Amino acid sequence: MEIILSDPVPPLFDELSNGRFEIRPLTTSTNSDCEAAVAILVYGHPPVDGALMDACPNLKVISNHGVGVDHIDVAAATARGIPVGNTPGCLDAATADMTMALILSVARNVVVGDHFARSPEFDHYQPALLIGQEVTGSTLGIVGMGRIGAEVAKRANAFDMRVLYHNRNRRPEIEELLGAEFVSMDQLLRESDFVSLNCPLTPETTGLIGAKELLAMKSTGILINMARGPVVQTGALCDALTAGQIAAAGLDVTDPEPLPRDHPLLQLKNVIITPHLGSASNVTRMRMMQMTIDNLAAGVEGRELPNRVC
């Protein structure tokens, strides 16, 4: 059996790979694990750096379960001639679904409403209770018009939303197909009822949303982060939510992740936090695992990876 390093994976991995690989621990690997390993399977977001690569003299491939590779030192892998694979495309729909789930949940008080409905205080229907923001017909600003952003825009069309977007490159085909309008970051922040972050974490997007950007948003505005925690400056977000500079936030990712259990953000009622569930659907997880295994097998056999980052 080929030996690979990985944090614990679900039984699905063995099922789909027909028990081909022997897994040794990644995060707590010993020298002999590293020496024996021909591949690293990156499950979850353990950091994979040049030092780890150097400790693995027989390393042929790094296969990431997921699309974002910000936790992997891709430049170090390239410098060492080690291909890095990921799973683009298969998770766009699930992540866009979850973006809409957060938009709807925050706007329509789903979580607060659930808690209230279970409490003894709910003793009759009150039309004035928990009046939220109308999603249909509102304006959505998508930051990052990649594959996931485009899926969000598609869903927003079904809600009759005006869709603004900001992206490194203009996407005329998305504008034509989905009626999205390319605008400056400033216009997006000022005019959107919902600002949805769907961009990768890069040096350009790290800390992208800070005090200035939050101040530029509408006071009724809702921020959704489906990207990566560090795209938002956590302290600034906490201040803006506390001061009522923006109305609320829906966060699938945070910085740090998880937040310390006594973090003030966890005390705020106008925030919904989910534990990085963007691609966590049954069908998508199955596809992700298959693509992860396909990259792993190709790299171990010295073939070109079906989905190679670098």
List residues near ligand GLV by CB under 6 A.
66-68, 91, 278-279
Catalytic residue check, 263? no
Nearest-angstrom CA–CA distance, 200 and 149 = 11
Q: Which of residues 233 and 279 has its CB atom nearest to ligand GLV in the complex? A: 279
How far apart are CB 88 and ligand GLV at their closest, in Å?
9
How far apart are CB 69 and ligand GLV at their closest, in Å?
8
Which of 45, 65, 155, 228 does the annotation list as catalytic?
Answer: 228
Residue 134 region by backbone torsions, left for phi larger than 0, else alpha for psi between -120 and 50, else beta? beta
How far apart are CB 200 and ligand GLV at their closest, in Å?
8
Q: Which of residues 98 and 216 has its CB atom nearest to ligand GLV in the complex? A: 98
Q: Which of residues 132 and 200 has its CB atom nearest to ligand GLV in the complex? A: 200
Structure tokens at 155: 């869903």
How far apart are CB 67 and ligand GLV at their closest, in Å?
4
Using CB atoms within 10 A of its CB, is residue 30 exposed (0-12), middle (13-18) or buried (19+)? Answer: exposed
Structure tokens at 38: 């021909």
Whether the Cβ atoms of residue 99 and residue 281 lie closer than 8 Å to each other:
no
Radius of gyration of the chain from Cα atoms? Answer: 21
Q: Which of residues 91 and 289 has its CB atom nearest to ligand GLV in the complex? A: 91
- N- to C-terminal Cα distance for the chain? 26
How far apart are CB 29 and ligand GLV at their closest, in Å?
22
The number of CA neighbours under 13 Å toward the Cβ of 64 is 25
Q: Which of residues 215 and 286 has its CB atom nearest to ligand GLV in the complex? A: 286
Catalytic residue check, 257? yes
> Cα dist. 176→153, 156, 170, 181 in Å?
12, 15, 12, 9
Catalytic residue check, 228? yes
How far apart are CB 295 and ligand GLV at their closest, in Å?
13
- Which of 44, 150, 115, 159 has the alpha carbon at shortest distance from 272? 115
Nearest-angstrom CA–CA distance, 215 and 209 = 10
Which of 190, 257, 263, 287 does the annotation list as catalytic?
Answer: 257
Q: Which residues contact 258 (CB under 8 A, 6 or more apart)?
A: 275
Residues assigned a catalytic role: 228, 257, 276
